[in-house]
Amino acid sequence: MTLRSPAGWLLLAFALAGCATVDSEGGPPRRYENVGSFAESTATRRDWTPHLVRMQLGLFPEAGRLPAGHVLPHDEVEAGLAAATGSGVAVTWIGHATALIRIGEKWVLTDPVFMDTVGAGPIRLARLAPPAPALADLPPIDLIVISHADYDHLDLPSLRRLAVRNPEAIVLVPEGTGRLLAPVGFRTVIEMSWFAKGRWGGIAVEAVPAIHGVRRLPEPPDSSHWAGWILSYRGTRLYFAGDTGFGSVFADIRRRSGPVDFALVPIGAYEPRRLEAPFHVDPEQAAEIARILGARVAIGIHWGTFALSEEPPTEQRARFLAASGGGVATRVPRVGETIVLVP
C-alpha cells in the first residue's frame, strides 16, 4: 500500500479515527455487532497505528515471502477450469478470498478482487501475486456472494468490470451493503440477513454469521454487516467463510443450518494475535471451524495475496496443512489451481 502524499496520511488518520456521518434521514446509522462468545478487541488506536503504518509502507519483512510455485502456469489454470466445467463441485482459487465455484452447472464467484491494488484514494495495497484466472478469462458468472465491505473483499473496480461482462449475475450481500453496489451496474443485488435463505438457478444459498467488522471510508465503522455463505445443490453443501475471527457462532451455524461437506476458510492475516484475533482466525482455528461444521475437506483461502499482517505466507500454508485431522483434510491450492471436490 502506498502513501505518497499528505492527503494519504490524512486519509489514514481519518480511517483510524472512524467516521462520524448520519443516515439519509438525519439519524445515526445502524451499527452491526458480533454475537455469541468471541475474542473482544482491547487494542487502542495507539496500538493499531504503528501496525497499520508499517503495513502501508511495506515494512512487514516476511509478508512477501511466497511459497515456491505459488502461481500456477496459465496452461494448467485453463486445464483446471476445463475439469471444473465437467464436475459436480469444484473450486478454483483466484487469490485472497476470491474463488470460482462450479456447482449445479452454475458458476459462483466469491469476494471478487482482480485489480493490482485495493484501497481508498491514495492508500493502496498492492497484490503479491496476480489473479488466476484473470477477469477476462472467467466463464460467464451466474452468482456472486460477498462477505463484507472491507476493501480487500468488496472491490468496486473489479465489480464494475464484472457487471459489464455479466449484468444478469445475481449478487448477494450482507445487510446494509447493497447501497454500495448501486452504481456498479448489476441488475439484481440482494441483501440477506444472517440465516436468511434463498434459491437461484437451482442453488440454495444461506447467509450465516461471521466474527468480524467493516471499515470503509467514508462509511461509519460497522455500518454494514458481515457474513459467510452456504451453497447447496442436490445434497452437497459448501461453506464460504469470507473473513472471520473465531467464536461460538460456528456451533450455532452447525446447530441451525446443519453440517457442510466442504469449507473455504481464511488462513492468513493473523499476526500479531493481540490485534488480529478479534477479526481473523489463525490456521488452526480455521481448521477447527471446518471440523465444527462437519466438513470433510477444508480449503485454505485469504492468504498469499496481500501483505495484511506480519506472518509469512509460507507459515500460513504450512500451519494449515499441519492442522489436518479430526475428520477434516486440509488443502491449500496454488493461485489458479482447481480442486475438484465432486467429480
- Rounded to the nearest 5 percent, the helix, strand and coil shares of the chain are 25, 25, 50
pLDDT (tens digit per residue) in 265-313: 999 999 999 999 999 999 999 999 999 999 999 999 999 999 999 999 9
For residue 27, what pLDDT is reported?
57
DSSP letter (8 states) at residue 236: E
Cα–Cα–Cα angle for 215, 219, 224, rounded to 5 degrees = 70
Give me the domain span that covers residue 321: 73-342
In a domain, 48, yes or no: no
21/314 Cα distance (integer angstroms) = 41
> How much is the mean pLDDT over the chain?
91
- pLDDT tier at 24, thresholds 50, 70, 90: very low
pLDDT (tens digit per residue) in 136-157: 999 999 999 999 999 999 999 9
In a domain, 59, yes or no: no
CB 122 within 8 A of CB 7: yes
Mean predicted confidence (pLDDT) in 115-130: 90
For residue 18, what is its C-alpha cell? 472512524
CB 266 within 8 A of CB 241: yes
- 11: pLDDT strictly greater than 80: no
Mean predicted confidence (pLDDT) in 324-329: 97
Q: CATH code at 304?
A: 3.60.15.10
In a domain, 25, yes or no: no
In a domain, 146, yes or no: yes
In a domain, 24, yes or no: no
State how many domains the chain has.
1
For residue 58, what pLDDT is reported?
83
pLDDT (tens digit per residue) in 27-80: 567 899 999 999 998 889 898 998 888 888 888 888 889 999 999 999 999 999
Strand 262-266 relative to strand 297-301, pairing: parallel
In a domain, 256, yes or no: yes
Helix 283-292 to helix 313-322 angle (10° resolution) is 40
Instruction: Give pTM, 2 decimals.
Output: 0.93
- 16: pLDDT strictly greater than 50: no
In a domain, 7, yes or no: no
For residue 56, what pLDDT is reported?
82
In a domain, 136, yes or no: yes
